[in-house]
């Protein structure tokens, strides 16, 4: 793949905006994805992830903003982008009434792949679909459908993959396999932008971005994203935590409480105030409390809550 | 209140309510619920007339006298005939009939009145376009009575001796194109148009909304394929299907119903192609408007109804009131029916066909324009 410019970034877009009627679904989003990087795109449902991805791959024209994808201009060179990007839609979007082979063959023709037969056969083999080639795509289970979709969007050997919630509704085992596959692709130098809701997937990304109500709230490595919010977190152990959670929520310094099974995470930006509040609460209820490292999930829940409080309602 | 098997009125009622709520949300279904009875009532109640009157008639008169004028006046007074033109020659009359501009041409030969006065029993010739026997039947049946009354009313005084029965002149009727008044000759070729309208509009409408409904359209668009390639690629199979359907009906017309094929069969297929194109543009437009396959079908039915009623497929076009004819004139089927019946039954050539060809072309081009705008909108 010969990219005209921007050898460093697979995706480099600035100030993207998109409106659907009155709704401002993407607001000033800027993203930079390095080549060979797995870039995780997180955010609640309806936050503008899909719209952003569609703008990056040339499906949608942004209302304003500019940038490049694989060095091609996202407004003027959409045809080039489509030819060099593999895009996997959120919903399975291959033809249910065609067999796996027919689907792959169709995609191969769309990209005018030379030696189509060989490309299709290779795709079937590497993804372990060889024995199911003649099965209709519609009869496949969720996991197999997703493998087929990945095989199809890899057929033309794209140097960038855009995956929109590829593992939604897929079982844990198939998810794990899928991510192993992604990581080996990244190791071969393929860049991946993947949107997801799963924390275990987020931690496997090299870089993350968090978007809510169309606004990009944080971007960087997992550690950078966590650090950017300046949260201190305490863990409180023991059963029957819900009463304590209700009580703590109203206390000074407590900005967020989340239960993970038997553990209650209490977070806040004022470390000293939070420390005093938690210590009092723990000792009065006879529970053990200790400071822990703020996790990615704490931060995401915090970000989600923060946008709902300020400005989020305007969306 | 409990019934056998535990029928709960609360549960049952909640199902009823849910159904109503969903119906209310589906605006197109709602429009159909109200629109179809209104449309049907208007069409059947006002537009359709199986005893058509005021039919377009041309006069070719070589003998302009009081008696011939009063005969023509009597024809008009019968309310079946409406004189719209006076033509110079019998040939011009034939041309007007071939092009469907008039349904009747009344030829009055030179010296008609003179012969009448000499008791020579002259003849009047009425030529009728009998392609649609229903349209011309009752008018022709009325002619002899009209002739009789003219004689009784107009020929008085010294000429009263002429007012004997049988009348002192003949009215000869030539039923052109379908002299035996066989309804099948008229209906079966028209079926081609009917079937093509139904399948072309529905199938293309469905083919495109199906891609959108299943989400595969987004996938297609993310590939390097251009919208033009998608559109034309998707339509080609339906053109083939349309031609096969036309062939089946034409074969049946020829060999089962013995419909005469006077015109050029190549011209029939060219007309069919043009007509298919016109309907495909309707299908594409519907597919852009419809959000799902059900809506595409509903729009298809909405389009289909006026096509059956107002195109002249089942009921005489000339028998409809002006507003219904105006709507009918917007439908490509109206022109296609005239075209195919003209070619097959009248042996019409290019010149006689052209008046029905260009409206279809205009329709196709206009709708292609609308379709490309609505289609593009659905992408972005």
Q: Does B228 touch chain A (CB under 8 A)?
A: no
Give the one of A60, A95, A111 whose C-beta lies nearest to B224's C-beta: A111
> Model confidence at B162, in pLDDT bands (50, 70, 90)?
low
Give tens-digit pLDDT for B298-311: 899 889 988 988 89
Degrees, nearest 5: CA angle B260-B263-B268: 100
Q: What is the predicted pLDDT for the residue at A309?
A: 53
Residue B345: DSSP 8-state: I
> Model confidence at A84, in pLDDT bands (50, 70, 90)?
very high
Q: Does residue A64 belong to any structural domain of this protein? A: yes
Across the interface, do A96 and B214 touch by the CB < 8 Å criterion? yes
Give tens-digit pLDDT for B237-293: 999 999 999 999 999 999 999 888 988 999 999 999 999 999 999 998 898 888 888
What ipTM was reported for this prediction?
Answer: 0.80
In which domain, by residue range, is A277 found?
230-293
The mean pLDDT of B187-212, rounded to a whole number, is 90
> Model confidence at A22, in pLDDT bands (50, 70, 90)?
confident
Across the interface, do A94 and B223 touch by the CB < 8 Å criterion? no
Cα of A181 to nearest chain B Cα, Å: 22
Q: What is the predicted pLDDT for the residue at A41?
A: 93
The mean pLDDT of A40-59, rounded to a whole number, is 90
* 3 state SS of A252: coil
The mean pLDDT of A140-155, rounded to a whole number, is 88
Q: Does residue B49 belong to any structural domain of this protein? A: no
Average per-residue pLDDT for chain B: 85
> Model confidence at B51, in pLDDT bands (50, 70, 90)?
confident
Residue A26 has pLDDT above 80, yes or no: yes
Q: In whole angstroms, what is the distance from residue A264 CA to residue B360 CA? A: 74
The mean pLDDT of B64-80, rounded to a whole number, is 84
> Model confidence at A308, in pLDDT bands (50, 70, 90)?
low
Closest chain A residue by Cα to residue B219: A93
Together in a domain, A20 and A163: yes
The mean pLDDT of B190-196, rounded to a whole number, is 92
Q: Does B225 touch chain A (CB under 8 A)?
A: yes
Q: Does residue B4 belong to any structural domain of this protein? A: no
Together in a domain, B146 and B207: no
Q: What is the predicted pLDDT for the residue at A152?
A: 92
Residue B215 has pLDDT above 60, yes or no: yes
Q: Does A87 touch chain B (CB under 8 A)?
A: yes
The mean pLDDT of A251-264, rounded to a whole number, is 87
Together in a domain, B292 and B328: yes
Q: How many domains does chain B have?
A: 3
Cβ-contact A218, A229 below 8 angstroms: yes
Helix intervals (H) in chain B: 9-25, 27-42, 66-77, 90-98, 112-117, 133-154, 183-213, 216-222, 227-255, 265-289, 293-310, 322-328, 332-341, 350-379
Residue B43: DSSP 8-state: I
How many CB pairs (< 8 A) connect A and B?
A: 38
Q: In whole angstroms, what is the distance from residue B186 CA to residue B194 CA? A: 13
Q: What is the predicted pLDDT for the residue at B376?
A: 64
Residue B165 has pLDDT above 60, yes or no: no
H/E stretch holding A293 = none
Q: What is the predicted pLDDT for the residue at A313?
A: 41
The mean pLDDT of A18-29, rounded to a whole number, is 90
Interface test with B, best of A104, A105, A110 (most B CBs within 10 A): A110
Of all residues in chain A, what percent are helix, strand and coil, respectively (each to 5)?
Answer: 40, 30, 35
In which domain, by residue range, is B244 found?
183-379
> Model confidence at A68, in pLDDT bands (50, 70, 90)?
very high
Q: Does B216 touch chain A (CB under 8 A)?
A: yes
Together in a domain, A178 and A191: yes
Q: In whole angstroms, what is the distance from residue A12 CA to residue B82 CA? A: 76
> Going by DSSP bridges, is the β-strand pair A38-42/A191-196 parallel, antiparallel, or unpaired?
parallel
Across the interface, do B222 and A91 touch by the CB < 8 Å criterion? no
Cβ-contact A291, A234 below 8 angstroms: yes
Residue A3 has pLDDT above 70, yes or no: no
Q: Does A106 touch chain B (CB under 8 A)?
A: no
Across the interface, do A94 and B216 touch by the CB < 8 Å criterion? yes
The mean pLDDT of A242-268, rounded to a whole number, is 86
Residue A213 has pLDDT above 70, yes or no: yes
The number of C-alpha atoms within 13 Å of A118 and in the hemisphere containing its C-beta is 3
Q: Does residue B296 belong to any structural domain of this protein? A: yes
Q: Does B222 touch chain A (CB under 8 A)?
A: yes
Q: Residue A50's closest CA among A24, A25, A27? A: A25
Q: Does residue B106 belong to any structural domain of this protein? A: yes
The mean pLDDT of B82-97, rounded to a whole number, is 88
The mean pLDDT of A154-177, rounded to a whole number, is 90
Residue B230 has pLDDT above 70, yes or no: yes
Give the one of A83, A89, A96 whose C-beta lies nearest to B218's C-beta: A89
Where a domain ends, among A206, A225, A244?
Answer: A225
Together in a domain, B166 and B251: no
| Residue A10 to residues A26, A81, A160, A305, Cα–Cα distance (Å) | 20, 11, 7, 31
Q: Does B86 touch chain A (CB under 8 A)?
A: no
Contacts of A57 in chain B (CB under 8 A): 222
Cα of B225 to nearest chain A Cα, Å: 6
Give the one of B216, B225, B380 whose C-beta lies nearest to A93's C-beta: B216
Residue B189 has pLDDT above 50, yes or no: yes
Together in a domain, B81 and B113: yes
Together in a domain, A197 and A212: yes
Q: Does residue A315 belong to any structural domain of this protein? A: no
Q: What is the predicted pLDDT for the residue at A2?
A: 47
Task: Answer with the residue of higher pLDDT: B292 or B151.
Answer: B292
Contacts of B214 in chain A (CB under 8 A): 93, 95-96
Contacts of A61 in chain B (CB under 8 A): 380
Residue A275 has pLDDT above 50, yes or no: yes
Q: What is the CATH number of the domain that holds A257?
A: 3.30.70.100
| Residue A127 to residues A107, B240, B270, Cα–Cα distance (Å) | 16, 38, 50
Where a domain ends, among B146, B176, B206?
Answer: B176
Edge-to-edge strand order for the sheet containing A263-268?
Answer: A256-260, A263-268, A232-237, A289-292
Give tens-digit pLDDT for A227-250: 988 888 989 888 778 888 888 888
Helix intervals (H) in chain A: 49-56, 78-84, 100-110, 116-126, 142-154, 172-187, 199-202, 222-228, 241-249, 271-285, 296-309
Cα of A16 to nearest chain B Cα, Å: 16
Give the one of A59, A83, A96 whose C-beta lies nearest to B221's C-beta: A59
Give the one of B215, B224, B225 whose C-beta lies nearest to A91's C-beta: B215
Cα of A214 to nearest chain B Cα, Å: 18
- Give the pair of three-digit tokens for residue A167: 């593992």
The mean pLDDT of B344-362, rounded to a whole number, is 89
Together in a domain, B231 and B129: no
Q: Does residue B3 belong to any structural domain of this protein? A: no
Q: Does A117 touch chain B (CB under 8 A)?
A: no
Q: Does residue A244 belong to any structural domain of this protein? A: yes
Contacts of A161 in chain B (CB under 8 A): none
Together in a domain, A73 and A175: yes
Residue labelled with tokens 């059956």? B308
Q: Does residue B47 belong to any structural domain of this protein? A: no
Q: Does B219 touch chain A (CB under 8 A)?
A: yes
Give tens-digit pLDDT for B90-130: 888 888 888 888 889 988 888 888 888 887 888 888 888 88
Together in a domain, B36 and B63: no
Residue B378 has pLDDT above 60, yes or no: no
Together in a domain, A14 and A163: yes
Q: Does B224 touch chain A (CB under 8 A)?
A: yes
> Model confidence at B180, in pLDDT bands (50, 70, 90)?
confident
Contacts of B282 (CB under 8 A, 6+ apart): B200, B201, B303, B367
Q: Does residue A95 belong to any structural domain of this protein? A: yes
Q: Does residue B234 belong to any structural domain of this protein? A: yes
Q: How many domains does chain A have?
A: 2
Q: Does A19 touch chain B (CB under 8 A)?
A: no
* 3 state SS of A33: strand
Cα of B220 to nearest chain A Cα, Å: 9
Together in a domain, B190 and B230: yes
Across the interface, do B222 and A96 touch by the CB < 8 Å criterion? no
């Amino acid at each position: 793949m010969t990219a005209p410019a921007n050898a460093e970034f697979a995706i480099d877009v600035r100030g993207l905006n998109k409106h659907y009627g009155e709704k401002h679904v993407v607001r000033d989003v800027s993203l930079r994805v390095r080549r060979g990087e797995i870039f995780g795109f997180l955010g609640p449902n309806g936050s503008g992830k899909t719209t952003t991805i569609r703008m990056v791959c040339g499906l949608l024209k942004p209302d304003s903003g500019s940038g490049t994808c694989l060095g091609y201009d996202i407004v003027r060179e959409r045809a080039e982008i489509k030819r060099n990007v593999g895009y996997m839609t959120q919903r399975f979007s291959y033809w249910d009434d065609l067999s796996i082979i027919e689907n792959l063959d169709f995609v191969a023709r769309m990209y005018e792949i030379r030696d189509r037969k060989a490309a299709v056969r290779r795709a079937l083999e590497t993804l372990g679909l060889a024995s199911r080639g003649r099965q209709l795509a519609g009869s496949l289970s969720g996991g197999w459908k997703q493998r087929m979709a990945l095989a199809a969007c890899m057929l033309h050997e794209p140097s960038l993959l855009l995956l929109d919630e590829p593992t939604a509704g897929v079982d844990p085992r198939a998810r794990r396999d899928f991510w192993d596959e992604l990581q080996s692709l990244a190791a071969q130098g393929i860049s991946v932008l993947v949107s997801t809701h799963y924390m275990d997937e987020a931690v496997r990304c090299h870089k993350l971005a968090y978007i809510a109500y169309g606004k990009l709230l944080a971007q960087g490595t997992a550690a950078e994203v966590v650090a950017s919010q300046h949260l201190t977190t305490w863990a409180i152990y023991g059963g029957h935590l819900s009463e304590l959670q209700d009580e703590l929520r109203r206390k000074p310094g407590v900005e967020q409480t989340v239960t993970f099974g038997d553990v209650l995470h209490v977070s806040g930006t004022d470390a000293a105030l939070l420390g005093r509040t938690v210590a009092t609460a723990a000792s009065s209820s006879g529970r053990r409390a200790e400071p822990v490292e703020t996790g990615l999930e704490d931060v995401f829940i915090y970000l989600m809550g923060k946008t709902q409080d300020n400005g989020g309602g305007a969306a | 209140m409990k019934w056998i098997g535990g029928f709960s009125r609360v549960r049952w009622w909640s199902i009823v309510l849910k159904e109503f709520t969903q119906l209310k949300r589906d605006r197109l279904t709602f429009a159909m619920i109200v629109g179809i009875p209104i449309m049907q009532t208007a069409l059947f109640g006002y537009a359709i007339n199986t005893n058509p009157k005021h039919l377009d008639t041309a006069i070719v008169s070589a003998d302009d006298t009081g008696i011939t004028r009063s005969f023509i006046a009597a024809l008009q007074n019968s309310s079946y005939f409406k004189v719209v033109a006076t033509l110079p020659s019998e040939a011009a009359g034939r041309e007007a009939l071939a092009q469907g501009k008039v349904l009747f041409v009344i030829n009055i030969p030179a010296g008609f009145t003179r012969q009448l006065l000499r008791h020579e029993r002259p003849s009047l010739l009425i030529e009728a376009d009998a392609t649609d026997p229903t349209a011309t039947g009752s008018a022709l049946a009325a002619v002899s009575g009209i002739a009789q009354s003219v004689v009784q009313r107009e020929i008085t005084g010294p000429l009263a001796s002429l007012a004997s029965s049988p009348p002192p002149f003949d009215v000869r009727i030539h039923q052109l194109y379908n002299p035996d008044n066989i309804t099948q000759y008229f209906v079966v070729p028209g079926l081609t148009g009917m079937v093509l309208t139904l399948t072309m509009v529905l199938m293309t409408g469905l083919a495109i909304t199906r891609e959108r409904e299943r989400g595969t359209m987004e996938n297609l668009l993310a590939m390097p394929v251009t919208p033009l390639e998608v559109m034309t690629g998707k339509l080609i199979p339906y053109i083939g299907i349309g031609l096969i359907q036309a062939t089946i009906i034409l074969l049946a017309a020829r060999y089962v119903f013995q419909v005469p094929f006077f015109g050029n069969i190549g011209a029939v297929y060219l007309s069919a192609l043009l007509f298919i194109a016109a309907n495909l543009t309707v299908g594409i437009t519907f597919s852009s408007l419809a959000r799902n396959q059900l809506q595409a079908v509903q729009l298809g039915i909405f389009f289909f109804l006026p096509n059956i009623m107002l195109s002249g497929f089942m009921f005489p076009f000339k028998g409809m009131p002006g507003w219904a004819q105006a709507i009918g004139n917007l439908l490509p089927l109206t022109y296609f029916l005239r075209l195919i019946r003209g070619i097959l039954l009248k042996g019409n050539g290019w010149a006689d066909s052209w008046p029905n060809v260009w409206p279809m072309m205009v329709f196709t081009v206009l709708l292609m324009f609308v379709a490309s705008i609505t289609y593009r909108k659905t992408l972005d």
